[in-house]
Amino acid sequence: MKIEEASFQCSVPEHSSKRVEFYCSSPDCVKPICSHCSMVTHKGHDFELLEMAFEPERKMITSQVNMIKSVLCGVDKKIDDMKNQVSSIETQRQTAEQNVKEFFNKI
């Protein structure tokens, strides 16, 4: 999914042309900020590079996606196995039906 370019711009109107680069993690903030914000309105706050701020969540989500893909592969295999069983049962039904018809035609 592509995130719109505007979502990377600072939300402060006076410097909305600046890209957000940091994430302010101070309890009263917790939001993305630009370099100007980091030196002025968020001076003394705890902040880190934006891409690093969400790294633990990205790793967790990636791990969960991989686990789900693995589970889906197992489910797909079970579905294929069941389809094969249904096909085999249908073949057996047709054979049994044919045998019964042939038996009654001989009588």
pLDDT bin (cut points 50, 70, 90) of residue 11 is confident
Contacts for 38-45: CB closer than 8 Å, 24+ residues apart: 41/12
pLDDT tens, position by position, 30-67 = 889 999 999 988 989 999 998 898 899 999 999 999 99
Residue 4 has pLDDT above 70, yes or no: no
pLDDT, position 51: 85
pLDDT, position 15: 83
Compute the distance between CA of residue 58 and CA of residue 61 in angstroms, rounded to an integer.
Answer: 5
pTM greater than 0.75 (yes/no):
no
